[in-house]
Chains A and B, each alone.
Chain A
């Protein structure tokens, strides 16, 4: 067993469309231990989904391209594996829950068959009876009566579909789940329920998870570690307690916290971070956040160093450099 479950180093990803080149991920680095939960936060367009897709090696063919860096998953060099070997890992060692669970299920296949399909693919020598039993157990585990396995997705509510999607992701007991905003498409009341379920199962099966979300509250509740992404790179990484309530934060992370509406203050309007994320079609040499940062100085014209402000808490900013 490798000592780290996932190690992403200096990852660069571009999308080459007919019109332009989008630099979606720029020098991304991240690591994850076995069984750990990491919250990946950042505003829209930061490259969160792109990063997850690259771990699955599912970037859109012919458009998305990894131009630099490495991804080591459970000892496998993901970027240099053959397609057949990658298929063995997908759904088995690593699985992904996509942004919209409503449309993630095939409408013309029973939910039982959709769970069975992935289990069968990765357990070719399992008997029919064992496969069926495992599917039943998994359904019960996510809270859907197993006698509904011959029904089709349209016969289930949104929250139940989500449970099926989770069952598909977990049935092979993968070592890592990539949950890409698994609850944004759901009702607020069901959101908490779902996160509880995912968290519970993940603990039970000792699965690590990267939880992509915009919601810092969710991260505080469910994640041991946090990575903040900005314009295609991780600008802050640490344990949840480092980031929640710490002083020495990256100015962007600080801005994110200030943007959370507080119930006890009667603020006139929502606090936002001024400006917008930089144009992803442009190459930026210095700090990508400098344009919007109130602490920006001349130093920020060169790329900032990664500084360990306290053990295990990394910040990519000139403010904390010597």
Chain B
């Protein structure tokens, strides 16, 4: 690619790092304000003053707030996140174990939503006003407004309880058998994909309709090139600019938003880890978790920005 594009990417990376830094600061301060103490929580009601004091010192929670913050950041640069009080494990080990589980649902869900959403959106735009178009629009509206937990429960009711063809909940790693893995993951993936699928369909449809009216599409027709070339080289490339924005936001949102789906289907992912850590006031796990999510979201935004630059030459200039 060209120099302008590389410069733009460099600028965006610096911006992302700043944003992530600010997020860590905010989360850290918020955690300090939340009442409750991880040590007290872990030791239980029968712990003595000495025990509490000993562990508080051991974990460094007696130090000034700013010192604690800088120690955490310092550790991050060495690749250490600290130890979890509640779980008595290295936080980085737990987090990445859980992140793998979450991503193994998010990626299939995202790919499903993109592939199906773009296809349905293009078809609906091409057949605007047809019955197909109306049906698609109808379901897209339902998909966007249906609450996730309700949809998840309906699916469990039908496929797990009534038909008995899928397990109600739980998770099996891919390494322990693809079939088991798939049967556990299929319902969470559908629930997770539903909202984004509806959104991508609507966005693709409206962007395509917007682009169909443009003069350059008329110019392309007047060249005598095939309808396929017009759709892909002229319409879709232009329509993709707003579609990509929506996709980037959704992917970031899906990683942070699996909490609900993981709770419904009792999946040991990042979301359920965050919930249990908040309950046990294990704030080091919470803030490292938020950091991981923030990095993931920033990464999605970065990819979107790079794609923008690749697709739209006008953006490389600013």
**Chain A residues with a Cβ under 8 A of chain B:** 56, 58, 86-92, 95-96, 98, 100, 103-109, 117-118, 121-122, 152, 154, 165, 168
Contacts and interface: CB of A to CB of B under 8 A. Distances in A.
A121 B229 CA distance: 10
Contacts of B237: 106, 108-109
B238 interface: yes
A107 B225 contact: no
A106 B238 contact: yes
A106 B222 contact: no
Contacts, number: 75
B218 A90 contact: no
Nearest to A18: B129
A92 B224 CA distance: 8
B32 interface: no
B219 interface: yes
Given A109-B233, A152-B313, A154-B314, A104 B216 contact: yes
28 contacts: A87-B224, A87-B225, A89-B224, A90-B221, A90-B222, A90-B223, A92-B224, A95-B222, A98-B215, A98-B219, A98-B222, A100-B215, A103-B214, A104-B216, A104-B219, A106-B216, A106-B237, A106-B238, A108-B237, A108-B312, A109-B233, A109-B234, A109-B237, A117-B225, A117-B229, A121-B225, A122-B224, A152-B314
Contact of B224 (A88, A103, A106): A88
B216 A118 contact: no
A96 B313 contact: no
Nearest to B128: A62
B225 A105 contact: no
A168 B313 contact: no
Nearest to A151: B313
B222 A103 contact: no
Contacts of B225: 87, 91, 117-118, 121
Contacts of B221: 58, 90
Given A106-B216, A108-B238, A121 B312 contact: no
Nearest to B2: A150
Contacts of A108: 237-238, 311-313
Given A87-B224, A117-B225, A118-B223, 7 more contacts: A104-B218, A106-B216, A107-B314, A109-B233, A109-B237, A118-B225, A152-B314
A105 B224 contact: no
Interface in B258-300: none
B150 to A, nearest CB: 38
Interface string B211-244: 0001110111111111001000110011000000
Contact of A103 (B216, B229, B312, B314): B216
B238 A168 contact: no
Q: Which are the 10 A-B pairs with shortest beta-carbon distances?
A: A90-B224, A91-B223, A118-B223, A152-B313, A91-B224, A103-B215, A106-B216, A87-B224, A104-B219, A96-B222
Nearest to B240: A108
A121 B224 contact: yes
B222 A56 contact: yes
Contact of B222 (A91, A107, A109): A91
Nearest to B237: A108
Contacts of A98: 215, 218-219, 222
Contacts of A87: 224-226
A122 B225 CA distance: 9
B247 to A, nearest CB: 17
Contacts of B218: 58, 98, 104
A95 B98 CA distance: 60
B220 A107 contact: no
A168 B226 CA distance: 17
Contacts of A165: 219
Nearest to A92: B224
Contacts of B314: 107, 152, 154
Contacts of A104: 215-216, 218-219
Nearest to B313: A152
Which of B215, B218, B222 counts the most chain A CB atoms within 10 A?
B222
A20 B223 CA distance: 31
Contact of A107 (B216, B223, B226): B216
A106 B313 CA distance: 11
A56 B218 CA distance: 11
Contacts of B226: 87
A108 B216 CA distance: 11
B308 to A, nearest CB: 11
A92 B223 CA distance: 8
